[in-house]
Amino acid sequence: MDLRGSIEMYLNKVFRCALHQRSRTLASLNFQGKRASQIRHSTTSTVDADGVSFEPNRNFVTKLEFLEPKIEDAIPIYRVFDNAGKVIDPSQDPQFSDDTLIRMYHAMKTLNIMDQVMYDAQRQGRVSFYMTNYGEEGCHIGSAAALDDQDLVFGQYREAGVLMWRGFKLEEFMDQCYANLNDPAAGKQMPVHYGSRKLNFVTISSPLATQMPQASGAAYALKRTHPGLCVICYFGEGAASEGDAHAAFNFAATLNAPCLFFCRNNGYAISTPVGDQYKGDGIAARGPGYGMLTIRVDGNDTLAVYNATSKARQIAVAENRPVLIEAMTYRVGHHSTSDDSSAYRSVDEVDYWSRTDDPIARFFRYMVNERKCWSEVQDKAFTKDSRKKIMTAFKNAEKRNKPSPSLMFTDVYKEIPPHLQQQQKEMIDHVRAHKDHYPLDRHEPI
C-alpha cells in the first residue's frame, strides 16, 4: 500500500473512532506530521484503550457496484459417503469401530420404529399429538455422537435422536407423550417436549427459536464455569427467520460463546417451502455475516454430520467461538400429526427422498457393503426385537395413571405462594364437590 493509501486508511480509522469516541478527536488531529512508518503502524494498531478494535478494512473503490448475493455459486455441501453408502474420499472416513457404527445405527433405527408406533398411536387417539423424525435421524445421531455427553443441548422439537443416543429410555419418551405420573413435568407440556437433566438436554418448548439466544447465554456461562464444554443448539430453517435467531448468532459471535448452531434445513416449515422462507443461500450464508465459522453438510450423511460437528466442537471449545452448521435434509414425514403434507407437496417428491436419499438406508448400505459389519438378517432380527421393546414401553406408559391434578400448581414458582395455595385448595374443594364432571378415574388422587 502506498503512503497515500495509508493516510487515507488512517484518516478513516480516525473518523470511525471519532464517531464512537468524540472526546478523543482532538488528539488525532496531529497525525499529518507523522512519518509514513508511524502512520502505517497506526493503521494496523486498531485497538483502543478499552480493548475495542475498529474494523481495519477501509478499502475504497471508485466504481459504483452493488454486491450481488451469490445464490448460483452456493456454499457446497460436505459429504463423506454417497447414496450407495460408498465413501467418496477415504481420508474423510472417521473410521468408527464396528461397535460404534452398530450403536449409531441402532439409535437411528429405534427412533424410526418408535416414530411409527407413536404416530399410529396418535392416529388412534391414544396420545394427543406427535411429531416424527423421518429423514432427519442422521442429523441427530451424527451430531450427538460427536459431542461430549456433558455438552448442553438446546433443541427445537425434532431432535429426539439426540436423546436416544444419550440413553433416554424408551419409557421416558412414552411417559412424556402419555403425560403420565412418571413424566418429570407431570404432564404439563404437549407430547415430544422432552427434557432430561441427567442427559443435559434442556426441556423443549413450543415457541420457535427462543432456545437460540438461550444457548448462546448458556455457552457463555459454561465457558466460565466448565471450560472444555460447549453448547449445541438445534433449530429448523424456518425458526432461523425468527428475530431470536439473529440475536443468538450475533450474541454468540460478539461475546465469544462456544456454541454450535445446528440448522436442520429440511425444505419446509410446516407448509412453507424454503423459497418463501428466505432469498439468500440458505442459512449457512448468514454465518459469515455474523463473523461465524460456517459449514454446510449433507444431513443424510451421518458420517459427514459427525465430522463437521466433531471439528466444530473442537474449534468452539479451543477458540471460544460459535460455529454454524447447516445440515441439508428433507422432512419425509408430515410436519406433525396435525398436518397433512399432501396438501402442499407431491407424494412423488416425498417418495423420491425416502427411496433414494434416506439417512438410515445410506448408513445401512455403508455398514453392509463397505464395512461388512451388518447384514439383512441382523437387521430383521434387530427390527423385530426393537419393535417388541418399544411396544412393551408403550403399553407400560399407557397403563400408568395421569398425575394428581394438584400438581397443576407446583413449579410455577420454586415455592407455592399463598395465592396459589388458595387456588389449589379451591380447585380441590370444587372438584371433590363435583366429582362426576371431572376425569378423576385416570388420575392419581387429588
Partner 1 sequence: MAGNLAKFSTGILKGIFRNATFKPVSSVLTQKRNAHFVFKPDQPSTKFGPTEKMSYLQSLTSAMDISLREDPTTLIFGEDVAFGGVFRCTKGLRDEYGSDRVFNTPLCEQGIVGFAIGAAVAGSNVIAEIQFADYIFPAFDQIVNEAAKYRYRSGGLFECGKLTIRAPCGAVGHGGLYHSQTPESYFAHTPGLKVVIPRSPIQAKGLLLSCVQDENPCIFLEPKILYRAAEEEVPTGNYTLPLSQAEILVEGKDVTLVGYGTQIHVLKEVAELAQTQLGVSCEVIDLVTILPWDRETVCNSVAKTGRLVVSHESPHTGGFAGEIASTVQKECFLNLEAPVERVCGYDTPFPHIMEPFYIPDKWRCLSAVQRVIDY
Phi and psi of 263, rounded to 5°?
-95, 125
Minimum distance from residue 184 beta carbon to partner 1 (Å): 4
Q: Judging by DSSP bridges, how do beta strands 272-273 and 323-328 pair with one another?
A: unpaired
Among 419, 434, 437, 442, binds partner 1 (CB under 8 A): 419
1 binds partner 1 per the rule CB under 8 A: no
- Looking from the CA of 372 toward its CB, the CA atoms found within 13 Å total 0
Under the criterion CB under 8 A, does residue 413 sit at the interface with partner 1? Answer: yes
Which one of 1, 221, 381, 391 is in contact with partner 1 (CB under 8 A)? 221
Stretch binding partner 1 (CB under 8 A), from 8-16, 140-148, 220-228, 354-362: 220-228
- Does 94 interact with partner 1 (rule: CB under 8 A)? no
Binder of partner 1 out of 85, 155, 161, 195 (CB under 8 A)? 195
CA torsion 251→235→162→181, rounded to 10°? Answer: 100
Helix locations, 271-417, DSSP H: 274-277, 302-319, 347-356, 359-365, 376-399
Q: Which is nearer to partner 1, 60 or 413 (CB)?
A: 413
Among 12, 83, 116, 250, binds partner 1 (CB under 8 A): 250
Q: How many residues bind partner 1 (CB under 8 A)?
A: 51
Based on the shown chain and the rule CB under 8 A, indicate whether residue 248 belongs to the binding site for partner 1.
Answer: yes
Q: How far is the CB of 287 from partner 1 (least distance, A)?
A: 16
CB 153, min distance to partner 1, A: 11
Interface mask toward partner 1 for 329-358; x: CB under 8 A? ------------------------------
Cα 77 to Cα 322: distance, rounded to the nearest angstrom: 20
Copy the grid coordinates of residue 431.
372438584
Cβ proximity to partner 1: between 205 and 396 the closer is 205
Q: What are phi and psi of 223, to 5 degrees?
A: -55, -35
- With binding defined as CB under 8 A, does residue 177 bind partner 1? no
CA distance 96 to 26: 63
Q: Does 193 bind partner 1 (CB under 8 A)?
A: yes
Q: Indicate whether 232 belongs to the interface with partner 1 (CB under 8 A).
A: no
Task: Look up residue 169 and give its amino acid.
Answer: K
Q: What angle do CA 80, 82, 86 make, to 5 degrees?
A: 85
Q: Which of residues 298-317 bind partner 1 (CB under 8 A)?
A: none
Q: Which of 45, 95, 128, 254 binds partner 1 (CB under 8 A)?
A: 254
* Residue 205 contacts partner 1 per CB under 8 A: yes
Q: Which triple of cell numbers denotes residue 314? A: 473442537
Q: What is the side-by-side order of every strand in the sheet holding 259-265?
A: 152-154, 231-236, 259-265, 323-328, 293-298
Judged by CB under 8 A, the chain residues 132 through 171 that form the site for partner 1 are 152, 154
- Residue 121 CB partners (closer than 8 Å, separation 6+): 127, 130, 177, 394
- With respect to partner 1, which residue has the nearer C-beta, 99 or 415? 415
H helices of 160-287, in order, are 160-166, 170-178, 211-225, 243-254, 274-277
Non-local CB neighbours of 145 within 8 Å, separated by 6+ positions: 100, 104, 165, 306
Whether 245 contacts 212, CB under 8 Å? yes
- The distance from CA 25 to its chain's CA centroid, rounded to whole angstroms, is 45
- Least CB distance from residue 74 to partner 1, whole Å? 28
Shortest reach from residue 268's CB to partner 1, in Å: 23
Spell out, one character per residue from 24 to 63, where the chain touches partner 1: x when CB under 8 A holds, - when not.
--------------------------xx------------
The three-point CA angle 213-216-218 to 5° equals 110
Q: Is the dihedral of CA 60, 65, 69, 72 positive or negative?
A: negative
* Residue 38, all three cell numbers: 508511524
- Cβ proximity to partner 1, 186 vs 367, nearer residue: 186
Does 19 interact with partner 1 (rule: CB under 8 A)?
no
Using rule CB under 8 A, residue 220 touches partner 1: yes
Which residues make up the interface to partner 1 (CB under 8 A)? 23, 50-51, 152, 154, 183-186, 188-189, 193, 195-197, 202-203, 205, 207, 210, 212-222, 224-225, 231, 243-244, 246-248, 250-251, 254-255, 411-414, 417-420
